Amino acid sequence: MRSQRPIKGFRPGKEPAHLKKRRAKARLRGDADLAGLSELESYQFLAYYRAYWLHFQNVFFQQNLGVLESGVWDTYARILCTDYRGLPGVRATWPDHAPVLEPDFVGFVESCPPA
């Protein structure tokens, strides 16, 4: 049976600062040079970008349903395409993420104009 006691110093929705700092380092290093990451940092980097891609896919489908104003989507699209074309780590991990994403979204990402 699981304990109902909260973990000391941890509240749901609030990430401990030391974990946030490690994840941020892995992301910044991975964006620049994926090959230089440790095994743990590689996992953190992939997990971060899995959440990233799922978030952008959600926004993409909100746009397709007409829920977002076009200006809001335009901003998201610029960020997405800038990251996809401009960050080596993002490009290197795209083949790991694309197969689990919806084909319409994958097509949009892959049609981003060159940086």
What is the tens place of the pLDDT at every residue in 22-55?
Answer: 666 777 677 777 778 888 888 888 888 898 899 9
DSSP string over the chain: ----SPPTT-BTTB--HHHHHHHHHHHHHHHH-GGG--HHHHHHHHHHHHHHHHHHHHHHHHHHTT-S-HHHHHHHHHHHHHHHHH-HHHHHHHHHHGGGS-HHHHHHHHTPPP-
In a domain, 28, yes or no: yes
**pLDDT recorded at residue 1:** 46
In a domain, 92, yes or no: yes
In a domain, 5, yes or no: no
**pLDDT recorded at residue 63:** 94
pLDDT in tens, 75-87: 999 999 999 998 8
In a domain, 6, yes or no: no
The pLDDT mean for the chain works out to 81
**pLDDT recorded at residue 57:** 96
Domain housing 27: 17-110
pLDDT greater than 50 at residue 94: yes
**pLDDT recorded at residue 10:** 44
How many domains, in total, are found in the chain? 1
In a domain, 4, yes or no: no
Q: Which residue has the higher pLDDT, 71 or 9?
A: 71
Structure tokens at 29: 């290093």
In a domain, 61, yes or no: yes
In a domain, 12, yes or no: no
Decide: 105 and 57 in contact? Cβ < 8 Å.
Answer: yes
The model carries a pTM of 0.73
**pLDDT recorded at residue 66:** 93
In a domain, 95, yes or no: yes
